Amino acid sequence: MKSNIVLIGFMGSGKSITGKLLAYRLGYSFVDTDTAIEQEYKTKIKDMFAKEGEAIFRQRETATIQKLAQKSHQVISTGGGVATKETDMQELRKNGIVIALTAMPHTILKRTGNDKRPLLAKKSNEERLKTIIELMAKRTPFYKKADLIIKTDDTTPLQNVEIIMKYLKGVK
Ligand code: S3P
C-alpha cells in the first residue's frame, strides 16, 4: 500500500486546509511544498519569484519534492504547478496516492487574495480571473491524471476529508 497522500490542484482549491485535516485524521505528518521551500531557502515564495524568478523557484520545488517523496506517511500538499511536472509526479506516485482538488474559476477568484501568490498578483479582479481561466485550461489535463478528483466549489474541507477517507477505505 502506498503510504503518502499527495494533493494536487489549482491555487485556492483547498489543498492546504484539507491536507492538514486529513493528516490529523490519518495520524500522518502534513507537509506543504511551498512551506518546505520557504523554510529551506529562508525566503518567501513571493520574494523568490521577484528576486530570483520563477525558473529558480521551479528548480527548488523539484529538489524539495525529490526529498519529500523518499519519506512516508505524509499528506503532501503541492503548489499548483507541481502536477504539470511529469518527473516530479512520477517520483511522488511511487509511494503516493494522488488526489486532485478542483474548483471553478470564480470560486478560485473568491478564495485567492492578491498578496502571497505571485502568479495571481494582478491589480483588478478581471485580470486575475483571466489569468485563472487561462492557467486552469493549461493545467486541467494534468490535474485529471489524479487517482481521485474532488470538486470543492460546494464542499467544506471536512467534507473533502470524508470523501478521501471513503476512497482510501476502498483502495486498501
Ligand atoms: C503556484 C502555486 C502556489 C505556489 C506558487 C506557484 C502555481 O501554491 O507554489 O505561487 O504555479 O500554481 P498554491 O497552489 O499552494 O497556492
Task: Please tell me the predicted confidence (pLDDT) of residue 88.
Answer: 97
* Ligand 1 midpoint to CA 116 (Å): 9
Give, for 77, the enclosing helix (H) or strand (E): strand 74-77
pLDDT in tens, 81-114: 999 999 999 999 999 999 999 999 999 999 997 6
pLDDT in tens, 133-165: 999 999 999 999 999 999 999 999 999 999 999
Task: Please tell me the predicted confidence (pLDDT) of residue 113.
Answer: 78
Measure the CA–CA gap between 100 and 136, rounded to whole angstroms: 13
* Ligand 1 midpoint to CA 36 (Å): 13
HEC assignment per residue over 17-39: HHHHHHHHHHCCEEEEHHHHHHH
Whole-structure pTM value:
0.97
Measure the CA–CA gap between 9 and 13, rounded to whole angstroms: 6
Q: Counting atoms of ligand 1 from 1, which one is nearest the CA of 32?
A: 15
Would the pLDDT of 64 be above 70? yes
